[in-house]
Amino acid sequence: MKVTIWNEYMHEKSNPTVAEVYPHGIHNAIKEGLLEYGIEANTATLDEPEHGLTQEVLDNTDVLLWWGHTGHGLVQDEILERVYQRVLQGMGLIALHSAHYSRIFTKLMGTSCSLLWRVANEKERVWVVNPGHPIAQGLPRYFELEKEEMYGEFFDIPEPDELVFLSWFQGGEVFRSGCTFRRGHGKIFYFRPGHETFPTYYNSYVRRVIANAVRWVAPEPGLVPLETIRPPFPAQEPVPGRNN
């Protein structure tokens, strides 16, 4: 299984608080967590040529993890389309935290993906609402993050194929924090926790979720990838004498 972790890698270079929490970048903290489960990964960042997501890199990626926030609009159209096609062809995608507003996630969802939010140092309790799902393997009934940013409903996404986690916050809000989707041949998982100023990606339960999710979104054995996803029918010629 070939895994690529993409991070815009902007906060860590401009915000001293984030740099202190993630001195080697959020992407490397996630990579470290995956290694605990025997999963090796490569990394890519926004400022690399082609955002580190060349066609060769994507063709050799089974699972792509995406963390973005302030740099959503800086992702080039060509790279966006390249990633989109690879998901349709069978590459798994895991969108983390504020990647709900990433161009790739909103394109795949077809909605605004907007939500309520509040920057606060408050407790998040992540409830496992689908304990039989592979992404929930090895987790307790719930786990807590002592400090997180609040995301609240309404979360403008299509109805998830499966809801795995539901979060509750000290302010009383709830949020669909672990959702699965399928687009084309590809599996998608959105996972909410991961605000950049908090050490969320060092949490053992969060690391377990991400490792489980990587294995779940990976292409099914024997899947024959499509070279290119195209409309199923060619454009028809206009019929003479008819308003088309």
pLDDT in tens, 93-152: 999 999 999 999 999 999 999 999 998 789 999 999 999 999 999 999 999 999 999 999
Measured between alpha carbons, how far apart are the two ends of the chain, in Å?
A: 48
Q: Whose structure tokens read 């990394």? A: 43
Q: Which two tokens stand for residue 200?
A: 């969320």
d(CA 227, CA 229): 7
CATH for 3-110+176-217, options being 3.40.50.150, 3.30.70.100, 3.40.50.880, 3.50.50.100:
3.40.50.880
Judge whether residue 241 has pLDDT over 80.
no
pTM listed for this prediction: 0.92
Q: Which two tokens stand for residue 122?
A: 């408050």
In the chain, domain spans: 3-110+176-217
Least confident of 40-44, 64-68, 218-222: 218-222
Least confident of 6-15, 32-41, 174-183, 230-239: 230-239
Average pLDDT for the chain: 93
Tell how far CA 128 is from the center of its chain: 18
pLDDT in tens, 169-192: 999 999 999 999 999 999 999 999
Mean pLDDT computed over 189-202 = 98
- Phi, psi at residue 158, to the nearest 5°? -60, 160
d(CA 192, CA 85): 24
